[in-house]
Amino acid sequence: MDFELHHHRASVKLRAGPFGLHLFQRDTGLNIFMDEVRIPPSQWARAPRQVSIALTNACDLACPYCYAPKSPAALDAKKLAEWLRELDDNGCLGVGFGGGEPTLHREFIQICRQTAERTRLAVTFTTHAHRISAADRDKLRGSVHYVRVSVDGVGPAYESLRGRPFSALRSQLAIIREVSPFGINFVVNACTLPHLTSGIGIGEEFGASEFLLLPEQPVAGTGGIDPTTLRALRQWIDRYRGGIPLAISENYSENTASGSIGREKGLRAYAHVAANGFLKRSSYDAEGVLIGSGGVMEALRRLEECPAGGKQP
């Protein structure tokens, strides 16, 4: 019997794939995977499970390890809405808005609200948090399912890296936690490694549900976490007994993803839309495929035909 997926407004979204059936509830974050279900390839989801979207390259901070492009660019909200509907209809489960600083996009709040109202996608965004006001909190509540706050240091270390008072960050975390569940993103390098435990303490104080470790990526061929610091990070992870679950960026996960959900790889698992409208395999890639009149799924098809790291056909 064919497995029919008629569930456009169901509270649980279904994603079919080569490893079974994934049930996802965006309001609670519930994931159920049934790997005993065999589904014909013709009914597999065509879109990546998760897509990150840089709404703008603009940012009002100047963190020394930032890898985001510095060229001016911002996505058109109307075109973006069309791409989001495509992704939703083709089995994507969630989108993560970033940048740059996504809250600098002039239609940021409207984009979040319309995505939640008009699609079944889980809506998340990554922010430095300093631009979220109490009024923004009230507008975003109910339209955002998760927020990631970039921290990377505590006290004077935070202030030297991000150029903002740490006391202001604490005030902003009190606002963010009233929008939705939130996690902390922490770039790890030789400078920030000594502050990991203090960062966990801030997360525990404000009720963070996850602490995401981001070993620093090289920028323009320079920088990146050094081998000594990476070894020390692994030792810190081995000793960790804190109350917040840890996660680490995929490049350094060393295949630690467990269960069937983690078995999807490559473009079946993830893609990135840059602020200039290019679809890429990751936010770190220099090359990608421009999303043209054929839409995001046509761009995905073309990207799949490109060798990893290669230019578009």
Q: How far is CA 159 from CA 102, 167, 188, in A?
A: 21, 10, 16
Q: Treating both helix axes as pointing N-terminal to C-terminal, what angle do 295-305 and 77-89 enclose, rounded to 10 degrees?
A: 70
Of the candidates 260, 295, 255, 262, the one whose C-alpha atom is nearest the C-alpha of residue 279 is 295
Of the candidates 308, 269, 250, 258, the one whose C-alpha atom is nearest the C-alpha of residue 17 is 269
Q: Is the pLDDT of residue 242 over 70?
A: yes
* Mean of all residue pLDDT scores within the chain: 89
Q: Is the pLDDT of residue 258 over 50?
A: no
Run of H or E residues at 34: strand 30-34
pLDDT number for residue 26: 94
| Phi, psi for residue 281 in degrees, rounded to 5 | -70, -30
**Cis? peptide before 295, omega within 30° of 0:** no
Long-range CB contact pairs, 1-5, < 8 A, 24+? 2/40, 2/43, 3/37, 3/39, 3/40, 3/43, 5/43
Q: Do residues 192 and 153 make contact, with C-beta atoms less than 8 angstroms apart?
A: yes
The least confident of 60-64, 76-80, 173-177 is 60-64
Distance of alpha carbon 151 from alpha carbon 126, whole angstroms: 11
Tell me the pLDDT tens digit for each residue of 139-163.
Answer: 999 999 999 999 999 999 999 999 9
pLDDT band at residue 253 under the 50/70/90 scheme: very low
Q: Do residues 2 and 38 make contact, with C-beta atoms less than 8 angstroms apart?
A: no
Pairing of strands 94-98, 122-127: parallel
Distance of alpha carbon 64 from alpha carbon 57, whole angstroms: 15
Q: Is the pLDDT of residue 120 over 80?
A: yes
pLDDT number for residue 263: 75
Average pLDDT over residues 260-264: 62
Distance of alpha carbon 179 from alpha carbon 250, whole angstroms: 27
Tell me the pLDDT tens digit for each residue of 65-97.
Answer: 888 888 899 999 999 999 999 999 999 999 999
pLDDT band at residue 240 under the 50/70/90 scheme: very high
pLDDT number for residue 250: 65
pLDDT number for residue 3: 37
Average pLDDT over residues 2-27: 74
Tell me the pLDDT tens digit for each residue of 284-309.
Answer: 888 899 999 999 999 999 999 987 65
Confirm or reject CATH 3.20.20.70 for domain 45-305, answering yes or no. Answer: yes
The C-alpha angle 82, 113, 250, rounded to 5 degrees, equals 75
Distance of alpha carbon 95 from alpha carbon 86, whole angstroms: 12
